[in-house]
């Protein structure tokens, strides 16, 4: 297996040191040894070197926890899953350690800059049943957003179009004359001077759908770093949260058929929360 790893990995990777430090493991978690017999059709996992990540401010509030799912209320700027430049600073990595749940995994996702409710499965066996709810559109989702008020915009309105997000591009786009794949009901709940709190009820879940739909109505969400124009925001700049909140989730439980309805503890306008481990842990009680 040692020879196989050297053949597969770039020359700059110190395979010998990683084997000594037991950083290669099989699916079972057992470390790969230099002299292990070659095993075809076998997955080998490894722990890569991680750069220093700035601490993302704010608590992860646990709204609900049982033997199958955990519902959390995440702050802005915190990635749902470990990816790219955000590994330790992600909901999954934080909570696996905090809650002692090594198999914890998200059932759906929120953008890193979006706040609010996120559902996670406690064990792998529960992920499929709850994930199927989202795929079948059997989850009622309500978001709220802070955005400018347009007196000439008739509300409520249902926005229906085709949203496409190409890999490698930051912004999504509306494709004219393509089949509808994104639908959102937009309502104005309250007005505060030039701004209003909008209730958004999506029946689909395309990437950046809500942000793009409000931008298309001429009322881009306050604090959006991508719409209408892409801003150059540093990775450790937490001063202007996107004013978009995943505020409600409702569904019939696929296991026991009980009707479940969860609400975020947060409200608009969202503000940057203090950075401290204590704050993060207090939300888990």
Catalytic machinery residues:
111
Q: Do residues 57 and 273 touch, judged by C-beta distance below 8 A?
A: yes
> How far, CA to CA in Å, does 21 sit from each of 14, 29, 30, 130?
11, 14, 13, 37
- Report how far residue 169's alpha carbon sits from residue 166's, in angstroms, rounded to the nearest whole number: 6
Phi, psi of 21 (to 5 degrees): -85, 5
Residues facing residue 188 across a β-bridge: 198
Longest CA–CA span in the chain (Å) reads: 73
Contact indicator for 238, 272 with CB cutoff of 8 Å: yes
Which residues are CB-neighbours of 192 under 8 A, at least 6 positions away? none
Alpha-helical segments (H) within the chain: 2-8, 15-20, 91-99, 124-135, 209-216, 277-282
Instruction: Give the residues across from 31 on adjacent strands.
Output: 25
Beta strand pairing call for 105-106 and 61-65: unpaired
């Amino acid at each position: 297996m040692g020879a196989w790893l050297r053949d597969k990995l770039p020359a700059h990777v110190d395979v010998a040191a990683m084997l000594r430090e037991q950083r290669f493991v099989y699916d079972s978690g057992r470390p790969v040894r230099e002299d292990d017999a070659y095993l075809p059709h076998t997955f080998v996992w490894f722990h890569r070197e991680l750069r220093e990540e700035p601490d993302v401010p704010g608590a992860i509030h646990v709204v609900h926890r049982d033997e199958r799912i955990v519902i959390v209320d995440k702050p802005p700027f915190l990635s749902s899953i470990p990816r790219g430049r955000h590994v330790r600073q992600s909901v999954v990595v934080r909570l696996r350690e905090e809650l002692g749940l090594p198999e914890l995994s998200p059932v759906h996702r929120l953008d890193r800059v979006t706040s609010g409710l996120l559902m996670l499965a406690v064990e792998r066996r529960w992920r499929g049943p709850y994930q199927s709810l989202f795929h079948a559109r059997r989850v009622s989702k309500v978001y709220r957003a802070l955005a400018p008020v347009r007196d000439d915009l008739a509300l409520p309105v249902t926005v229906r179009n085709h949203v496409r997000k190409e890999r490698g591009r930051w912004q999504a786009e509306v494709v004219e004359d393509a089949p509808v794949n994104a639908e959102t009901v937009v309502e104005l709940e309250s007005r505060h001077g030039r701004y209003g709190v909008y209730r958004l009820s999506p029946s689909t879940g395309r990437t950046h759908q809500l942000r793009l739909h409000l931008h298309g109505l001429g009322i881009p969400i306050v604090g959006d770093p991508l719409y209408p124009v892409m801003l150059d925001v540093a990775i450790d700049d937490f001063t202007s949260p996107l004013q978009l909140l995943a505020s409600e989730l409702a569904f019939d439980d696929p296991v026991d058929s009980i009707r479940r309805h969860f609400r975020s503890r947060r409200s608009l306008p969202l503000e940057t929360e203090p950075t401290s481990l204590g704050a993060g842990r207090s939300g888990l009680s």
